[in-house]
Homo-oligomer: A and B are copies of this chain.
Amino acid sequence: MARNQQQNEKMREDRIKQIQAEALHQFANKGLFATKIRDIAEGVGMAQGLIYHYYKSKEDIYVELIKNALDKMNAAVLMLKETPLPPHEKISMAIKQMLYTIETSEDFTQTCRLIAQATNSTAIPEDAKKLIEEKRDLPYQELAKIIAAGQKEGTITAGDPKELALVFWTSLNGLAIYKATRREHTSMPDPGILINIFLKE
């Protein structure tokens, strides 16, 4: 009836991955509205029309990327949560890890950029808004829990855990965004600076 099922699906998935990769790159750099379907198609090396064989619309691609980005971020936070380390070591590990990843992974900084753009604009698809609404608070919440646990142990600085978590996440996020726009010219600060905010010496 049809060509080999597995091959077919593999091809389809490959194409979709290509489109996603190119779209992430374009959306992260230029945003939803300045990115043209033609740009994405050209980037992948296919005709514009073919994009619509795989996605219903530009917005659909965008929404899927937003979902993936938020999920990836939250998965990382949940992994941190599950790591069998005392709270203060979780915090210092997370800081080092994130700074290193910002430094080395363009994919990661672009993901941060995509989320930042979406979070800071009211002109995004309804579905994207819902996803952000649902998912953006998890990092703050989980970090606040870790911080509170560390405070009980006496290893983490005093202060409202939610406020500390807010500073933690916005700082690292801010650094990722900063880095994204100056790849070559900058490097991340010493993790010690940030670790100092949270750990008692």
Q: Which of A16-24, A50-58, A192-200 contacts B (4 or more CB under 8 A)?
A: A192-200
Q: Counting CB contacts under 8 A, is A189 at the interface?
A: yes
List the B side residues contacting A174 at CB < 8 Å: 170-171, 173-174, 177
User: In the complex, which residues 151-201 of chain A have their Cβ closer than 8 Å to any Cβ of chain B?
Assistant: 157, 159-160, 163-164, 166-167, 170-171, 173-175, 177-178, 180-181, 186, 189-190, 192-194, 196-197
**A117: interface (CB < 8 Å):** yes
Q: Chain A interface mostly helix, strand, loop or mixed? A: helix
Number of copies: 2
Partner of A170, one of B30, B33, B121, B171: B171
CB-CB nearest in chain B for A178: B170
Question: Inside 8 A of A157's CB, which chain B residues have their CB?
Answer: 193, 196
- Contact A167 to B196, CB < 8 A, known contacts A120-B181, A123-B31: no
The interface residues of chain B lying within 8 Å CB-to-CB of A113 are 120
Interface size on A, residues (CB 8 A): 39
Contact between A193 and B159 (Cβ–Cβ < 8 Å)? yes
Binding site for B on A (CB under 8 A): 29-35, 113, 116-117, 119-123, 157, 159-160, 163-164, 166-167, 170-171, 173-175, 177-178, 180-181, 186, 189-190, 192-194, 196-197
